[in-house]
């Protein structure tokens, strides 16, 4: 925490207890805090979720910190790395560690870079023993045939090539947007640039959020989240959309 909110919501729905471990100052996992939580035994930790790139901060988990976590969780629990946004920084994928750590699980989705959020389809990369456990509890018919056909097309050589082209274009727009945003005197901090969104700390995030909403621009306000006071997340849209956001920003005085 702060991270993707559905982990705890899904756990609560299933009646599963969750334990939040705040990150270190650089928003990397606090390895010692996680170790203490796992090893004290009182919480009976079975799964650790790590979002990389993290939503909403955008940082990717450091390889060394992940391997430290994987070492002390051997034989204790699963470590799940959520790579929903990894297509925007594929070099940061943690799949490479699966050959050495059979309790590492990596999840992906077609909702982000593939722009197929409507079909609600993702996939899991894991060792055979974990997959066997999943097959015991998965629905008999988890994916409708039309969804499966769309997913196959998206993951084909042609589909992946199209995705990579769109990602490259989006990253160019993101970089141009960030360059302009950093010139604004009411911008205090621009967080990590590893996804299709940017988290920005403003002098007055709530006021900026409202100003944009009044202009029909819906952003995501994170001011109530731990250590994210005055922070707003902005998804990178089309060139026209990002120019409109900048126009509103330039009209704001803080």
Q: What is the mean pLDDT of residues 1-14?
A: 92
Burial class (CB in 10 A: 0-12, 13-18, 19+), 4: middle
Domain boundaries, the chain: 6-154, 169-251
Query: For the segment 148-196, what is each residue's pLDDT rounded down to a tens digit?
Result: 999 999 999 999 999 999 999 999 999 999 999 999 999 999 999 999 9
Token pair 């077609």 is at which residue? 110
Compute the C-alpha angle 26/32/33, nearest 5°: 80
Give me the pLDDT at residue 52, please: 98
Q: How confident is the model at residue 227 (pLDDT cuts 50, 70, 90)?
A: very high
Q: What is the mean pLDDT of residues 80-89?
A: 98
Give me the pLDDT at residue 40, please: 87
Q: What is the pTM of this model?
A: 0.94
Considering the chain, what percentage of its residues have pLDDT values greater than 90?
Answer: 93
Looking at domain 169-251, its CATH class is: alpha beta
For the chain, give the mean pLDDT.
96
May I ask the CATH architecture of the domain 6-154? 3-Layer(aba) Sandwich (3.40)
């Amino acid at each position: 925490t702060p991270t993707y909110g559905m982990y705890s919501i899904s756990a609560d729905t299933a009646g599963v207890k969750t334990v939040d471990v705040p990150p270190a100052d650089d928003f990397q996992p606090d390895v010692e805090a996680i170790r203490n939580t796992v090893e004290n035994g009182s919480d009976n930790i079975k799964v650790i979720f790590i979002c990389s790139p993290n939503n909403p901060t955008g940082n990717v988990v450091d390889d060394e910190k992940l391997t430290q976590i994987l070492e002390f969780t051997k034989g204790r629990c699963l470590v799940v790395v959520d790579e929903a946004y990894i297509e925007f920084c594929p070099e940061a994928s943690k799949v490479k560690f699966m050959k050495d750590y059979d309790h590492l699980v990596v999840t992906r989705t077609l909702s982000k870079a593939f722009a197929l959020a409507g079909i609600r389809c993702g996939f899991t990369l894991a060792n055979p023993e974990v997959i066997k456990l999943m097959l015991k509890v998965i629905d008999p018919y988890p994916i409708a045939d039309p969804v499966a056909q769309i997913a196959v097309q998206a993951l084909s050589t042609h589909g992946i090539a199209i995705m990579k082209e769109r990602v490259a274009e989006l990253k160019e727009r993101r970089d141009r947007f960030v360059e302009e945003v950093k010139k604004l005197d009411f911008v205090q901090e621009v967080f990590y640039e590893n996804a299709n969104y940017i988290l920005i700390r403003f002098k007055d995030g709530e006021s900026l959020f409202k100003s944009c909403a009044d202009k029909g621009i819906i952003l995501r306000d994170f001011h109530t989240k731990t250590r994210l006071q005055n922070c707003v997340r902005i998804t990178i849209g089309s060139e026209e959309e990002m120019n409109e956001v900048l126009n509103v920003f330039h009209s704001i005085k803080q």
